[in-house]
Amino acid sequence: MLRLLRPLSPLDRVPPAFVTAGMTGIVAGLGWLDHVFGTRAGLSVLYPVPVAIAAWAAGRQNGLLVAATAMLAWLLADLASGASLAFSSVATQQLLGHVVLCVIVALTVSALRRTLNALEAALERERTIARHDPLTGLVNSRAFRGIIDAELTRASRTGAPLTLAYLDADGFKGVNDTLGHSEGDRVLRAVAVTLLHVLRRTDTVARLGGDEFAILMPETSRDDAIVALAKARDALARAMAADGWPVTFSVGAVVAGALGTPAGTFPLADSLIAEADAAMFTAKRRGGDRVAFGASVQGLQGDLFGLR
């Protein structure tokens, strides 16, 4: 909707000084045409147009500057046509009317631009809040499912493998109970920072709720996932030890597809998450602090290994 209200948005890429100079040149040209054809040609109604453009693209002050130039051009064209404004109340009223109109246009358009900018910024903040966890800044559960759907669609076309890992913090409740929730929040933020630092930029890290996190790794086979998750868990272990937090991580992972997988054989996001979640509980039942792989699309048997 806002884009429909911003037909002049391409001018945002033009420096304000250039816009102001261009609009000043246009009003000067209108003044010359007024002189050539006479003010009765009615070209004065066009003066607010460059004023509005300048106010929109270059701000209120530049809009008022172009408005002043427009009034000067109109006055000079009128004088050149033989009018005597000093003794013509009608002409004086016309001039004042044009001055007021152009000033109102400059002020109104610049105020509208500021309002639209503020509204767009507010909407962008709302979109960010709606898609991200406020504590860690990670993608939230709802947005994460949309990302999984998009990556599954892409993977179904290319046949590339896709790995989803589900992480649960072992011992996190004890941190909250003994050290307080503020310390627990520090743990969660440390997990987020560590995962974002150690994983690829193409991977997506999400907080699904509580002490549960997820990692989506496009174009990642089972062997690649083993290496990546080992690296991530090592980094998490160092981060927890650095602050003396007795927290480890149970990880469930599932691989969807592989090179040569027929199109349309990839699962839905919810089923992929459920399978990774089940694998995580398998790791937790075996004592935690380890990674379990669930059955993938290819029907691989679930397996379990510890990362000490």
pLDDT (tens digit per residue) in 257-287 = 754 444 445 557 788 888 899 999 999 999 9
Please tell me the predicted confidence (pLDDT) of residue 43: 62
Whole-number CA gyration radius for the chain: 32
Lowest-pLDDT range of 91-95, 188-192, 296-300? 296-300
Distance CA 181, CA 179 (A): 7
Report d(CA 92, CA 79) in Å as an integer.
Answer: 12
Split at pLDDT 50, 70, 90, the class of 39 is low
Least confident of 32-36, 136-140, 185-189: 32-36
Q: Nearest to residue 215, comparing CAs of 266, 239, 249, 261?
A: 249
pLDDT at residue 251 in the model: 95
Query: What residues have CB less than 8 Å from 185, skipping those under 6 apart?
Result: 135
pLDDT > 70? residue 84: no
Would you name the residues annotated as active-site residues?
A: 211
71 or 277: which carries more pLDDT confidence? Answer: 277
173-182 CB contacts, 8 Å cutoff, 24+ apart: 173/211, 174/246, 175/245, 175/246, 175/247
pLDDT class for 78, splitting at 50, 70, 90?
A: low
Are 31 and 76 in contact by the 8 Å Cβ rule? The answer is yes
Q: How confident is the model at residue 5 (pLDDT cuts 50, 70, 90)?
A: very low
pLDDT of amino acid 91? 56
CATH 3.30.70.270 domain locations along the chain: 141-306
Phi-psi region of 210 (alpha: psi -120 to 50; beta: other; left: phi over 0): left
3-state secondary structure of 205: strand
Top-confidence residue, 39 or 235: 235
CB–CB of 280/292 below 8 Å?
A: yes
The confidence score (pLDDT) of residue 215 equals: 96
Decide: 294 and 275 in contact? Cβ < 8 Å.
yes
User: Does residue 223 register a pLDDT over 80?
Assistant: yes
pLDDT greater than 50 at residue 305: no
- Mean pLDDT score, 200-217: 94
Of 162, 141, 144, 169, which is closest to residue 283 (Cα–Cα)?
A: 169
141-306 architecture in CATH? 2-Layer Sandwich (3.30)
Instruction: Please calculate the CA angle 189-192-196 and round it to the nearest 5 degrees.
Output: 145
Over the chain, what is the mean pLDDT? Answer: 79
User: What does the block give as tokens for 151?
Assistant: 């990556």
Helix (H, G, I), strand (E, B) or coil at 192: helix
For the entire predicted model, the pTM comes to: 0.62
Residue count (the chain):
308
Rounded to whole angstroms, the Cα distance separating 148 from 162 reads 10
Provide the percentage of residues in the chain whose pLDDT is more than 70.
75
pLDDT of residue 266: 56
Q: Check residue 163 and give its pLDDT.
A: 93
